[in-house]
Amino acid sequence: MFGPLFRASVSARWPSGEIERMMDSSTSRRRLFTGATGFVAASFFPADARAQAGYPDRPITLVDGFVPGGGSDIVARLLASKLRSELGQPVVVENRPGASGTVAMAGVLRSRPDGYTLAIGTISSLSVLPQVMAHKPYDPLADLTPILLVASVPQVVVVNENSPFRTLRELLDYAKANPSKLNFASSGIATSQHLAGELLARAAGVEMTHVPYRGSGQALADLMAGQVDLNVDTLPTNLPHIRGGKLRALAVTTPERVEWLPDVATVAELGFPGFDRKVWYMIVGPAGLPAPIVNRLASALNAALAAPEVAQRLRESGFMLGGGTPASAAALLRTENESNAAIARAASISVD
């Protein structure tokens, strides 16, 4: 679906105020059946309601739409190991890679809304690809139930060790003087790296050429070999190579500097106020997931994230901890869909 490597030119002419609007992306009660006659009343209680009250009573499947070892897989497995003690049942991570996570997500939304089949979704599968695919496999706002934002990661503008560019300003000045000559890599069309690169180009008013690959590994290999000029990729993917001297970090895409690279400035600091791009991970279920189950899962996930061993492992890997409520997850999902749809329209990004 995403085709072979190709080059697509990036135009820098956007409507006035579009950048600011696109970068302005923001981040149930539970009812219990009680009473002195509870045992008798339970015999008349609907079967689904009784199942909710005893949830969970068997293993839960957490589907990841990417291959083992990626960012979502790392988060899913760390949480699953702790959720067993929080929920009293095993949580089994099942990898179903394909089409940047949309194949797995489409399968999960067709599952029974009973809390036993969940998914870990990403910014790409939950708010980018559904906006740009010609034949939309699902509507994330209508077909899924947000449960909790569990983690996010900064993105970082990186060049290889032999690049002539020592600062982001040097790179952008060159790009302005040499339209379309610089190539920026991504792990595929309409991925978080693609949109971050497009947004950076338009914020700076420059033209760069997008070079999509079939995964972060291929994009990283060619960046380190000097086949492409830069990438705006996730921090965990690039951090070992930055620390090892193979890549040079020019800026991070979060509003504030990050603890892993405290000496690296933000894009916002370098002349682009409001620039904010992160890759995030959210646990979701199919539409119609009952509120008591949603709240039970959110509570367990918050407890898992608060566990020192989980928090430490995530931070060591370059993740920022999530948390919050199902309502805050739903709000993020809504605003991110609006923001990414605007970027895709302005950059004419589409996937057949």
Task: Identify the H or E element spanning 221.
Answer: helix 216-224
| Domain(s) of CATH 3.40.190.10: residues in the chain | 8-22+154-252
| pLDDT exceeds cutoff 90 at 343 | no
Confidence of residue 79 (pLDDT cuts 50, 70, 90): very high
47 phi/psi in degrees, rounded to 5: -60, -40
Residues 6+ apart with CB under 8 A from 269: 251, 257
- Note the pLDDT of residue 281: 97
Confidence of residue 49 (pLDDT cuts 50, 70, 90): low
Question: Which class is 38-152+280-346 in CATH?
Answer: alpha beta
Task: Identify the H or E element spanning 284.
Answer: strand 278-286
Average pLDDT in the 85-106 region? 92
| Domain(s) of CATH 3.40.190.150: residues in the chain | 38-152+280-346
Average pLDDT in the 325-345 region? 94
- Note the pLDDT of residue 157: 98
Confidence of residue 9 (pLDDT cuts 50, 70, 90): very low
Residues 6+ apart with CB under 8 A from 12: 179, 201, 202, 205, 206, 207
- Residue type, position 159, single letter: V
| pLDDT exceeds cutoff 80 at 96 | yes
Confidence of residue 351 (pLDDT cuts 50, 70, 90): confident
Alpha-carbon distance of 28 to 32, in angstroms, equals 12
| pLDDT exceeds cutoff 70 at 74 | yes
pLDDT digits 0-9 by tens, 249-297: 999 999 999 999 999 999 999 999 999 999 999 999 999 999 999 999 9
Q: Are 325 and 295 in contact (CB under 8 A)?
A: no
| pLDDT exceeds cutoff 90 at 232 | yes
9 phi/psi in degrees, rounded to 5: -75, 145
Q: Are 149 and 323 in contact (CB under 8 A)?
A: yes
- Note the pLDDT of residue 99: 81
| pLDDT exceeds cutoff 80 at 327 | yes
| pLDDT exceeds cutoff 90 at 77 | yes
- Note the pLDDT of residue 42: 38
pTM, full prediction: 0.79
Q: Which fold has domain 8-22+154-252?
A: D-Maltodextrin-Binding Protein; domain 2 (3.40.190)
- Note the pLDDT of residue 346: 85
Tell me the pairing of strands 117-122 and 278-286: antiparallel
Closest CA to 282 of 123, 140, 131: 123
Cis-peptide into 59, omega within 30 deg: no
122 three-state secondary structure: strand
More confident residue, 215 or 315: 315
pLDDT digits 0-9 by tens, 142-178: 999 999 999 999 999 999 999 999 999 999 999 999 9
